[in-house]
């Protein structure tokens, strides 16, 4: 095998060398040279620019048509709907600028392709034009900034809802733990020095408020239409709790507690009946069947979105959004830390 590759390489080098000699010989018989740009070159490249412009913008729309429906479904949280709306406005705007500017660029590249005898127009500057393309972007950006920051403030203000559910997301290489406060509605304090096999999130065993805390792996439940306040912690390196369906993301940083809140507005089973989701899952299951894998149902997912080591790509947890009743029922069946630890 290696010998074959070697022989192939040698042959290739000989071939290239011979080709070069042919080219060099033929060069002597040609008029002109190999670098001066001729009208023919300008015409070819100018036309190619125009063609590329069409193809490029065509490719843009083709992709939207083909892959647009692979995008995440509409937001399943209240603030997420606002983000989606803002996203759409901004995306339409920048797509418009993108198409228009590229179209003009490639059109000019074609229209003003060089030709012998043409005199270019000497135009050094034009204050009026330059004012236009300073002021127009400035005004548009002002709107983008104002709306963006208004939403940002709403999303990031501390939760004041007395009916909220507080959940801790605890990250470590390479899995997640969700911690619920239990009956006293208080998350017990923590001390990373107390981490051991029976105390995976480092609860401070002297703090009685932690004894009824509930620790969940693999799949956690949250109630619909109630504000969920997440407190994120990490045991080892930076992770990031990314819940794309809810438009939620926050880093988990060792040594500090970060927060993110949202109110889910669709249960998992409601989401599974959403027409967009049905079509999305059909596409996914079609691919899975081809690969010989079991079809799956839609689920909300928590992913790690900050590089954290070898299994970063597989650090996940399923999120189930329940009705209030189902959520309470599920929660009542979960074991408390005290019982877990005493095992």
Partner 1 sequence: MANTQTINLSEHVGHHDHAHDHDEHEESFVSKYIFSMDHKMISRQFLITAIVMAVVAMTMSIIFRMQLAWPGEKFAFINSVLGDKWGKDGVLDPNMYLALVTIHGTIMVFFVLTGGLSGTFANLLIPYQVGARDMASGFLNMLSYWFFFLSSIIMIGSLFIEDGPASGGWTIYPPLSALPEAMPGSKLGMTLWLISMTFFIVSSLLGGINYIVTIINLRTKGMKMTRMPLTMWAILITAILGVLSFPVLVSCVVLLICDRSLGTSFYLSDIYIGGRPLDNVGGSPVLFEHLFWFLGHPEVYIVLLPALGITSEIISTSSRKPIFGYRAMIGSMLAIGFLSFIVWGHHMFLTGMNPFLGSVFVFTTLLIAIPSAVKAFNYITTLWKGNIQYTPAMLFSIGLVSSFVTGGVTGIILADSTLDINVHDTYFVVAHFHIVMGLSAIFGMFAGIYHWFPKMFLRMMNKKLGYLHFWLTFVCAYGVFFPMHFIGLAGVPRRYYTNSAFPMFDNLVDINEIVTVFAILAALAQFVFIFNFFYSIFRGEKAPQNPWNSNTLEWTNPMANIHGNWPGPLPVVHRWAYDYSKPGAENDFIPQTVPLLEGEHDGGGH
Question: Distance (Å, rounded) from C-alpha 77 to C-alpha 74?
Answer: 9
Nearer to partner 1, 156 or 339 (CB): 156
Which range touches partner 1 (CB under 8 A), out of 118-126, 220-228, 320-328, 330-338?
118-126
Task: Order across the sheet with 248-252: list the strands.
Answer: 219-223, 316-322, 300-304, 239-243, 248-252
Closest separation between CB of residue 213 and partner 1, Å?
A: 18
Q: Residue 50: how many CA atoms within 13 Å on its side-chain side?
A: 11
Tell me how far apart the alpha carbons of residues 206 and 188 are, in angstroms, rounded to a whole number: 10
**Euclidean distance between CA atoms 155 and 250, whole angstroms:** 12
11 binds partner 1 (CB under 8 A): no
Window 33-72: contact mask with partner 1 (x via CB under 8 A)? xxxxx---xx-xxx-xx--x---x--xx--x---xx-xxx
Residues 6+ apart with CB under 8 A from 191: 202, 203, 204
| x/- letters, 261..290, toward partner 1 (CB under 8 A) | -------------------x--xx-xxx--
Query: Per rule CB under 8 A, is residue 103 in the interface with partner 1?
Result: no
Which of 18, 218, 311, 339 forms a contact with partner 1 (CB under 8 A)? Answer: 311
Nearer to partner 1, 236 or 334 (CB): 236
Please select the residue that binds partner 1; options are 4, 25, 26, 121, rule is CB under 8 A.
121
DSSP string, 29-63: TSSS-SSPPPHHHHHHHHHHHHHHHHHHHHHHHHH
**Which of residues 250, 271, 319, 321 is near partner 1 by CB under 8 A?**
250
Of 141-200, binders to partner 1 (CB under 8 A) are 141, 144-145, 148-149, 151-153, 155-156, 173, 192-193, 195
Q: How far is CA 166 from CA 24, 64, 160, in A?
A: 76, 39, 12
Q: Report whether 106 contacts 53 (CB < 8 A).
A: yes
Give the residue, chosen from 8, 58, 198, 309, that forms a contact with partner 1 under the rule CB under 8 A.
309
> Which of 85-93, 163-171, 181-189, 213-221 is the region at the interface with partner 1 (rule: CB under 8 A)?
85-93
């Amino acid at each position: 095998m290696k010998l074959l590759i070697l022989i192939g390489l040698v042959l290739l080098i000989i071939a290239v060398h011979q080709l070069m000699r042919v080219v060099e010989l033929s060069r002597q018989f040609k008029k002109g040279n190999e670098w001066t740009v001729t009208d023919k070159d300008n015409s070819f490249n100018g036309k190619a620019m125009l063609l590329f412009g069409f193809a490029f913008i065509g490719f843009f729309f083709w992709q939207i048509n083909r892959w647009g429906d692979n995008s995440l479904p509409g937001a399943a949280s209240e603030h997420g709907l606002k983000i989606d709306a803002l996203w759409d406005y901004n995306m339409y705007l920048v797509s418009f600028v993108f198409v228009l500017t590229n179209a003009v660029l490639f059109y000019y590249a074609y229209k003003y392709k060089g030709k012998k005898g043409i005199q270019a127009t000497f135009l050094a500057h034009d204050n009026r034009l330059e004012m236009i393309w300073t002021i127009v972007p400035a005004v548009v950006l002002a709107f983008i900034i104002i709306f963006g920051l208004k939403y940002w403030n709403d999303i990031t203000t501390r939760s004041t809802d007395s009916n909220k559910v507080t959940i801790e997301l605890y990250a470590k290489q390479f899995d997640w733990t969700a911690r619920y406060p239990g009956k006293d509605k208080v998350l017990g304090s923590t001390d990373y020095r107390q981490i051991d096999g029976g105390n995976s999130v480092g609860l401070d065993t002297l703090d009685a408020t932690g004894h009824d805390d509930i620790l969940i792996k693999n799949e956690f439940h949250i109630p619909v239409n109630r504000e969920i306040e997440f407190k994120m912690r990490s045991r080892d390196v930076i992770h990031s709790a990314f819940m794309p369906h809810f438009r939620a993301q926050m880093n988990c940083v060792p040594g500090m507690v970060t927060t993110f809140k949202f109110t889910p507005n669709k249960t998992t089973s409601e989401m599974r009946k959403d027409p967009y989701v049905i079509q999305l899952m059909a596409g996914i299951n079609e691919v899975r069947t081809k690969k010989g894998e079991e079809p799956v149902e839609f689920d909300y997912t928590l992913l790690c979105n900050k590089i954290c080591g070898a299994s970063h790509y597989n650090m996940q947890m399923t999120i189930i959004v329940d009705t209030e009743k189902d959520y309470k029922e599920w929660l009542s069946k979960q074991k408390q830390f005290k019982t877990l630890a005493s095992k």
